[in-house]
Structure 1
């Protein structure tokens, strides 16, 4: 069956998948581009200039702009402005430009007229409509890196086929998988039901996962036999791991774990949970084993932790024992915390200190609260811990919790959102003003990590 899929002789039902979403703000209207650009100081240089330009001219969030500035930097706005003007001439909307720059920031450094314009003109000359062109290039902008017109056209056609397939359950991909290896291999994955958001990065990836033929087929067969779901990112991770590592390398990795007391079956079960754990070197694997040992776990407990949480292997870069001891935990308490939450050894010292000190100093919970519920160290401060704690403090200030002590950590932070609302907000439905205030706090309007 695999060979039929790989050679395109078996048609599988094509599924609809949602369009790619990107964490950026909508861009301002066209007039905002020129006005915002005019307010930038011409003397600003380097990364700061890049961030300012991306925020003020493209409407990106500061966080996204900072991420982009680490990949590309420009010291004057002339070049990126010419790129933006060119895209607008081809009727790219604000949302399209936002997606393009977020995923291919290097586009802003290209010479608009000599590098980018000829490619857009070529694609238009082949009959691409404005709506089709803007949609496809906003999804996979990196195909614009391709210099050869014939290759560019082939990749564009392939992406168009996928986009059209996802818009109609009755549409069948007509492009035969007889082109370059990369297109043929991505086609095979598409036939397995892999969605756009996983397919397109593979199409333009330089890591080689879908470049070969025989090796790709062998790796794909193994991943399918292991039961990975082709619609998930974990499938792609597993495929990449098996493609990039030789049989000898894999055998060596497995032998390292065997020497520590795990079986070959254990290793592959761990692989199914967290494929990227296989990239860890022998040094990192043994260091993790030693870290658990320093935390007070015996060999059997360490092996159990490896089996259940392979993501923690190789992740410990600091002395977590010292971090916990400095915060006031006893060695026995450290052992209990790590047994209950093995992957806490991968948390940074800064994160552990920030969360523990917030719970102890801001909420007056004893350190034993963390020992009883160490999972709190893995919760988001901004999304869960701080908003919920602010609700608890608001209720305590009004004497509505029956005492001066906060409720148990588990009761306040471990429960689902629905249960938290039931316990601490909806029970006050007779006071709608209070409920409105508590909901505002919970939504983060007054949340602060200080």
Structure 2
């Protein structure tokens, strides 16, 4: 009986001893030390092999864990073997350090091979990865290939695989941001032609990948914009770029020169770029138009594109010619004072300088002298 009790007691003692040992703070210290050593190795590796600063390496090491150089070495070799320079590699890894833990053969290589199969050159791939390395984190099967197929679906049917891949290379954020594809689909469903979307994304891809555009699209339609016209895309860029506060600031600037709210929106529909001009540029053009040329600011509502023109090279020289013609009564009373500003240089000289033979020399002098106006 005593022996049985003794064996049971010893067994319980060992059980409690093991239980106590499992939660011993000493073991937690050991694990913490191990993690600290791993983090220290990562920092050292990033600084010595990837041109990271100490600060950047410390930040990256919080979410990057490896204690041996084999895998990160293979990633560096992979990029070098695909013609990436050391500066390219450092730039890429500082943005996405997690790539150092990737399996090059299973994760990275298939993506490179996919792009090559569609006609991408080594330089194309370098450009895309350097511009947006984040897409290398996306699944080839679940995101990159479906994105490619979607883009192929809305581009003109004559586009080749190489042209489609060129579109994606120029807009690599589409390969990473799901929002970009959602917004593209919204534009198509709203009636924006694929050709206009291509032009839009050549210049403002990041803008459309950065958030939900459905509200802006609805606002533009309520303003009377036709989604099938190129002005719709420009208006979309203007509204997305400005935001509510800057949009209100531009409207107030035009109002100070006598425009009504309705006239501002009318000008915006005719030439959306007029809202992308800086307030300083708007004020400079309006000041010259009204105070020096003596014209009515409301005239520009009909031809708001004039606001985009160079004040020194286009507006001032032609305004001087028109002022002279008006003062001499050489223009019809109903003649447009805005049309001359949007003509080509050749047509302007023919219609407003050479046409008036007796005064052509003086008109040409006025035009030339005011090209240097400041």
Q: TM-score, normalised by structure 1?
A: 0.44
Residues 1:370 and 2:227 aligned together: no
Could you say which residue in structure 2 is the equivalent of 1:303? 165
CA deviations over 1:7-31 (Å, ceiling 9, x no partner): xxxxxxxxxxxxxxxxxxxxxxxxx
CA distance in 2, matches of 1:238, 1:399: 50
| Structure richer in helix, relative to its length | 2
Aligned with 1:284 (options 136, 139, 143): 143
1:285-337 deviation per Cα after TM superposition (whole angstroms, max 9, x unaligned): 22212221222242243121122222212544666565224535355544544
1:422 paired residue among 280, 284, 290:
280
Instruction: Give how far 1:186 is off.
Output: 0.5
Indicate the residue corresponding to 1:312 in structure 2: 174
Query: Out of 243, 265, 271, which is 2:129 matched to?
Result: 271
Matched residue SS, 1:228: helix
Q: How does 1:357-436 map to 2 (within 5 A)?
A: 357-361=218-222, 367=227, 368-372=230-234, 375-376=237-238, 379=241, 384-400=242-258, 403-404=263-264, 405-407=266-268, 408-413=271-276, 420-424=278-282
Q: CA RMSD in A?
A: 4.2
- State how many pairs are aligned: 247
Aligned counterpart in structure 2 of residue 211 of structure 1, from 67, 71, 77:
67
Residue 190 of structure 2 is aligned with which of 307, 324, 327? Answer: 327
State yes or no: 1:187 paired with 2:44: yes
Contact 2:216 2:236 in 1 (8 A): no
- 1:355 and 1:377 in contact (8 A); partners too: yes
CA distance in 1, matches of 2:35, 2:193: 63
How far the C-alpha of 1:395 sits from its partner, in A, is 3.3
Match of 1:227 among 68, 86, 90: 86
Report the counterpart of residue 148 of structure 1 in structure 2.
29
Matches of 2:111 and 2:99 in 1, distance apart? Answer: 12
Alpha-carbon spacing, 1:261–1:229, altered in 2? closer, same or farther (3 Å) = closer
For residues 220 and 201 of structure 1, the distance between their equivalents in structure 2, rounded to whole angstroms, comes to 20
Aligned to 2:101: 243
Taking the TM superposition and a 5 Å limit, the aligned residue runs for 1:32-181 are 147-148=28-29, 151=32, 155=36, 180-181=37-38
Task: State the 1:183 CA deviation.
Answer: 0.9
Contact 2:112 2:125 in 1 (8 A): yes
Cα deviation for residue 271 of structure 1 reads 1.8
Query: Per the alignment, do residues 328 and 150 of structure 1 end up closer, same or farther by CA in structure 2, a change over 3 Å counting?
Result: closer
Gaps of 5+ in 2: 1-24, 288-374
The residue that corresponds to 2:338 in the other structure is: none
Q: Is the 8 A contact 1:284 1:313 kept in 2?
A: yes
Q: How far apart, CA to CA, are the structure 2 residues paired with 1:285 and 1:270?
A: 13
Instruction: Between the two structures, name the one with larger relative contact order (CA 8 Å, sep ≥ 6).
Output: 1
Equivalent pair of 1:274/1:310 in contact (CA under 8 Å): yes
Tell me by how many angstroms 1:196 deviates. Answer: 5.5
1:253 corresponds to: 111
How many angstroms apart in 2 are the aligned matches of 1:261 and 1:237?
A: 27
CA 1:239–1:153: 2 relative to 1, 3 Å: closer
Rounded Cα–Cα distance in structure 1 between residues aligned with 2:239 and 2:251: 20
Q: Which residue of 2 aligns with 1:15?
A: none
- Decide whether the 8 Å contact of 2:115 with 2:125 is kept in 1: yes
| Equivalent residues of 1:193, 1:230 under 8 A apart | no
1:127-167 CA-partner distances (Å, limit 9, x unpaired):
xxxxxxxxxxxxxxxxxxx9417955995xxxxxxxxxxxx
Deviations 1:219-268 (A, max 9, x none): 34666862336885x43345432431233443322222222222344333
- Counterpart-to-counterpart distance in 2, 1:370 and 1:227: 43
* Structure 1 unaligned spans of 5+: 1-118, 120-145, 156-179, 430-450
CA contact (8 A) 1:277 1:310 kept: yes
Rg (Cα) greater in structure: 2
Q: Could you say which residue in structure 2 is the equivalent of 1:93?
A: none
SS of the aligned residue for 1:148 comes to helix
